[in-house]
Chains A and B, each alone.
Chain A
Amino acid sequence: MKLRPHVLRALVRKDVARLLRNGPALMMLGLLVIVAFVTASSGLVEEAHAAPAAAEREPIPWIVYWDDNDWIRTLKRRARGRIELRFVDATELGSDPYPPDALVIEVRQPVLDRRNGVGRGVTRQHIRYRYPGSDPNALWPVTRWFLSASTAYFGEIPQFLETIEPITPPTRAQRTQAALESVSIADVLSLPLIATALLTMIQFFGACGLLVSLTAQERERGTLRALLLTPASFFEFMFSKALVHGGLAIGTSALAISALQPAALSSPLFWTTMVVMTCGYLAVGTLITSFAKNQAAPNLLSFAYLLVVGAMNLLAHRFEAFQFLSSLSFERYGLLFTIASLEQATSETASTASLLGSRQFFMFALIAIGLLLIATFVGQRRMRAD
């Protein structure tokens, strides 16, 4: 498997030149970056960054626990001197314990997660968030600290069963008013979730979608065959595509995140997650291209892939017997670690080293890179026959 610089240079130049002349592709990526900048210019980013100071003044958030275990004691230690929190044992609460302006995180007992009532369900730690008034985003600063600290404690991203309720149920008039007001995505989603969704789209499009489209075109036209008749090897051909499309996906992601969460750019967890996610999507793109001899097939195969991933996650969520499927999905790990890297970028309990060394991250990297190796092997067998 030789990699000769002059061959890679020529092949990379070819792919870059083709990309630069692909108006629709550049428009799509540009649009995603513009969405990032528009979101950044909305109030969401300022709120997300300003909120911690406000939360630390008043009201002081509560953490109510039912079991004073090692986890809770660790949270108490981590909070000391960093964030003002009120830890309360649930047995000491009365019947109507919370003032109307309270921000509360209830660390309740583990429950069987049978949402949607299908299947036997999965046992999860139940966390209930309570917020004042009608704005759940007021919880954001304290939940960000709580999730970050819990992740550091468990050494992996915890899979809580999370529910959310207002302290005081809204009146009928308030419900009507809320329904009449226009709702934007910033009202219902936190910044890390929006950013993660954007980054996932950029990664999928740049490292998978474009790779599939342009390579299928080369197969259909016979250009691949012509290139493989030169001294260039198939491995160099695919490696150059990985460089170009991987670089495009990571570069565009960095551009988008520079608007939404600039602090993430200095996070090793963010960059490592982006690289591993890119490897995963490059693998998917290579596999799809291996089975697509013309340009019509990739669209169908890409759609089929998304359906399969969705089905895997649905089965894993509903049935304990299929829960193992979620541990085989690099996309799921990628989403979790992207959110974690964005949350931790401004968190005072940043612990990227522990996450990078976690079992979950090892599985994430193993699946993505393993898939890439398999895809390269399959691609070589199928595409060299052209």
Chain B
Amino acid sequence: MIQIDQLHVHFGKFIAVSGLTLRAVHGQVFGFLGPNGAGKTTTIRVLTGGLRPTAGTVRIAGHELPSGLDAVKPLCGYVPDTEDHIEELSGRENLRIFASLYRLPKQRVDEALGRLELSEAANLAVSRYSKGMRKKLLIAREILHRPKVLFCDEPTANLDAHSTGVVRRLLGELRDEGTTVFLTTHNMAEVEEICDRVAILSRGRLVECDTPTAFMTRHAERQVRVEYDVDGEHTRRVFDQDDPTARAELAALVGAAPELRVHSLDFRFEDVFRKLTGEAYE
């Protein structure tokens, strides 16, 4: 559904994206991660037709961008990280305008509002909405026309725990309906929970692309944290259990200081991310 081949985006001498190659199939939640300034937003701008690539090809549903943008627009939705509603109008009016542009029946508006739990506030002016409600309205707007590809930039930012759950459930439902969800997020728990495949970008280059499980299997580390007192001074140390030297050192410490407190540490996806992007900076 999404094909990116050797994408290069340069702004003068600054290289925003370099040699990016990716594939995302239909019915998949594809996580697109990276530190700030890695090139994620630039890539999404190319995918949504807002930017022309310096080199490389980008295809969505077989249509090459930017020449095939008019054919791609009805197939795509884009949930940006900033709200862009028509503030003077109500949530319902905002959705009705976009529904009219796609020639959709009015029932779609009520359906979208219901899915995002915005029905009660639908007739209030958007200027009165909270940040979370505005975010949900954005998502509601972009799923009106049941897009084949949905680009989401931080879809759960500013949402409370309940709304976050609603949105994640919705993204999962969209995936099950065959939509390709292209998701950028800084929330690693979200990546672990809903992403089928993840690409990590750093300094404009693709670091690695695989399923979250494969990332964990390949990069997770077994670590313990040890706390003990020496001459009245409290000490903490972390030991990598996969490192023989560290294991031997720990064994020696256990023998020398019998009053140790040992805690095993969970290695999460966030740690994988930090490990991969931190190494990329070295």
A residues touching B (Cβ–Cβ < 8 Å)?
Answer: 6-7, 9-11, 13-14, 17-18, 21-22, 218, 221-223, 225-227, 229-233, 385-386
Contact = CB atoms under 8 A, between A and B. Distances in A.
Instruction: Give chain A's interface secondary structure class.
Output: helix
B226 to A, nearest CB: 51
A221 B84 contact: yes
B73 A6 contact: no
B86 A14 contact: yes
Contact of A14 (B78, B80, B87, B97): B97
Contacts of A9: 100
19 contacts: A6-B103, A9-B100, A10-B101, A11-B97, A14-B86, A14-B89, A14-B97, A18-B86, A18-B88, A221-B87, A222-B80, A222-B82, A226-B78, A229-B73, A229-B76, A231-B70, A231-B74, A385-B50, A386-B50
B50 A17 contact: no
B101 A18 contact: no
A22 B101 contact: no
Instruction: Give chain B's interface secondary structure class.
Output: loop
Contacts of B80: 222, 225-226
Nearest to B90: A17
Contacts of A229: 48-49, 73, 76, 78
Contacts of A386: 50
B84 A223 contact: yes
Contacts of B108: none
Contacts of A14: 86, 89, 97
Interface in B70-116: 70, 73-74, 76, 78, 80, 82-89, 93, 97-98, 100-103
Contacts of B102: 230-231
Contacts, number: 63
Contact of B98 (A21, A225, A230, A233): A230
B139 to A, nearest CB: 13
Contacts of A13: 97, 100
Contacts of B49: 229
Nearest 5 A/B pairs, CB to CB: A222-B84, A10-B100, A21-B88, A230-B101, A226-B84
A232 B102 CA distance: 9
A7 B141 CA distance: 16
B86 A232 contact: no
Interface in B14-55: 48-50
A39 to B, nearest CB: 33
B146 to A, nearest CB: 14
A168 B80 CA distance: 76
A18 B73 CA distance: 25
B2 to A, nearest CB: 16
B121 to A, nearest CB: 18
A19 to B, nearest CB: 9
A386 to B, nearest CB: 8
A244 B89 CA distance: 17
Residue among B97, B103, B141 with most chain A CB within 10 A: B97
B48 A18 contact: no
Interface in B151-191: none
